[in-house]
Amino acid sequence: MEEKANYCLTCKVKPCSVKGCPLGNNIPQFIEQIKQNNPKEAYRILAQTTVLQGVCGRICPHKKQCQGSCIRGIKGEPVSIGELEAFAFDSVIEEQNSLLECYETEMKEKKNNKKVAVIGGGPAGLTASAFLAKSGVQVTIYEKYDYLGGLLVHGIPDFRLPKEIVQKTIDKILALGIKVEYKKQLGKDIFLEDLEQHYDAIFLGIGANTSSKMGVEGEDLEGVYGGNELLEYNLHPDYSEKIVAVIGGGNVAMDCARTIKRLGAKEVKVIYRRAREQMPAEDKEVEEAINEGIEFLFQNNIVKIIGKEKVEEVELIKTKLVQKENDTRLVPVNIENSNYTIKVDNIVMALGARPEDYVQKLGLTLNKWGNIQIDENYQTSNPKIWAGGDLAGVKGTVAYAAYSGREAAKKIIESIC
């Protein structure tokens, strides 16, 4: 690992941190500590901006973020930033209270009687909780499941993110003195109006995990599933000898396709209406999917799903990429008379997600996509409530969700302390 650290040029301009990292981690500085064989100090530096070192080091789209901005990557391979971040976490995580030691003095100095309720224990909620606790605030997380982690547990397969890493991360965050109330679902077991009476502020980080639909004919046939729900509830059908089509090009689509292949599907086809280079999914995830025998049908769009009661076929149409006037993006356009059908047994929609229906009943202003509307301070239409992560329409990666939780925590602290 020292060799990989020494490959870093310790740039003063730090494009990997400033431009590439959503959390603004001080990447050259933490790598410098690894060069000096001091991973604990590397961990401490990272802990100033993130509490998800072991997670982000493994699953962030590094080539599109930090490593994609690395100067060494201009003429060669970029620094292995993700691997080095994970190494810093793994090297010290077995030490007792390693995260707590980073914050202990600060927490004692800033301890106060303010109380904040955090709804949802995913990346945004966990990060908000940690930075609130770090500032001396008494934090209680309300979680609808009997475990914390959100999509880190039920949305990302174990082959990409081992559950033991997630649990160790959570344990270190809870060591900051955070309380947890499990099996408490908003709108069912707990209500905003009640929490407002007992807390100085509320942070909403419940995510958005209802799969979006395409609105095509046949979408309601038996055998059509939402990718987010399949991953969250793990209620997969029997894929034995089945041909499964996964629609979409993001990480959820890759996770679904690779999981379904592992569960015994005969064939898995990923259908994406744009080209490979436009896929939101990380390149390494696509490469690994291809190596696992998953077929990709690029520049194909769905016309309709065919079947009497259950899925039998899907009609596709080929697309071409066109640059429209005053637009730098390449837009997929259907090629007339290029329709064809393929046999499938199941279809998984992995095209993005929206908040659950009960969010509309919370009494908070929503944007046109159904997400909770927030201002530049992550504050909702209720001045006592803040929100972040997918629920608030934040860009859908773990690092961006964590960033929203951290920044919202800062604004809550400014408001109530």
pLDDT digits (tens, 9 = 90+) for 140-158: 999 999 999 999 999 899 9
Q: Answer whether 290's CB lies under 8 Å from 296's CB.
A: yes
Average pLDDT over residues 101-110: 62
Which pLDDT band holds residue 97 (cuts at 50, 70, 90)? low
Interatomic CA distance for residues 200 and 385, integer angstroms:
9
Q: Answer whether 23's CB lies under 8 Å from 406's CB.
A: yes
Which pLDDT band holds residue 99 (cuts at 50, 70, 90)? low
Average pLDDT over residues 305-334: 92
| pLDDT above 60 for 371 | yes
Q: Answer whether 232's CB lies under 8 Å from 149's CB.
A: no
pLDDT (tens digit, 9 = 90+) per residue, 59-95?
Answer: 999 998 999 999 999 999 999 999 999 999 999 887 6
Interatomic CA distance for residues 343 and 243, integer angstroms:
7
Mean pLDDT of the chain: 93
Average pLDDT over residues 235-259: 95
More confident residue, 109 or 182: 182
Q: Answer whether 39's CB lies under 8 Å from 91's CB.
A: yes
CB atoms within 10 A of CB 147: 15
> Which among 59, 78, 60 is positioned nearest to 68, based on CA atoms?
78
Tell me if residue 353 falls in helix, strand or coil: strand
Average pLDDT over residues 111-134: 95
Which pLDDT band holds residue 326 (cuts at 50, 70, 90)? confident
Tell me if residue 378 falls in helix, strand or coil: coil
Cβ-proximal residues to 164 (8 Å cutoff; 6+ apart), any chain: none
Residues in a beta bridge with 387:
204
Average pLDDT over residues 256-276: 97
Cβ-proximal residues to 266 (8 Å cutoff; 6+ apart), any chain: 239, 240, 241, 242, 243
pLDDT recorded at residue 327: 75
What domains does the chain contain, in order, with CATH numbers?
Answer: 2-92 (1.10.1060.10), 104-208+355-416 (3.50.50.60), 211-352 (3.50.50.60)
The pair of three-digit structure tokens given for residue 181, joined into one six-digit string? 């109330």
Q: Which run of H or of E encompasses 120? A: none
The pair of three-digit structure tokens given for residue 395, joined into one six-digit string? 């860009």
Cβ-proximal residues to 72 (8 Å cutoff; 6+ apart), any chain: 7, 8, 9, 78, 79
Q: Answer whether 297's CB lies under 8 Å from 316's CB.
A: yes
Interatomic CA distance for residues 133 and 125, integer angstroms:
12
| pLDDT above 70 for 106 | no
The pair of three-digit structure tokens given for residue 125, joined into one six-digit string? 């909620």
Interatomic CA distance for residues 321 and 276, integer angstroms:
12
pLDDT recorded at residue 157: 92
pLDDT (tens digit, 9 = 90+) per residue, 6-64?
Answer: 999 999 899 999 999 999 999 999 999 999 999 999 999 999 999 999 999 999 999 98
CB atoms within 10 A of CB 101: 16
In 279-329, which ranges are E strands?
A: 295-298, 300-306, 313-323
Cα angle value 34/35/38 (rounded, 5°) = 40
Residues in a beta bridge with 310:
222
pLDDT (tens digit, 9 = 90+) per residue, 154-184?
Answer: 989 999 999 999 999 999 999 999 999 999 9
pLDDT recorded at residue 328: 78
| pLDDT above 90 for 115 | yes
Q: Answer whether 203's CB lies under 8 Å from 341's CB.
A: no
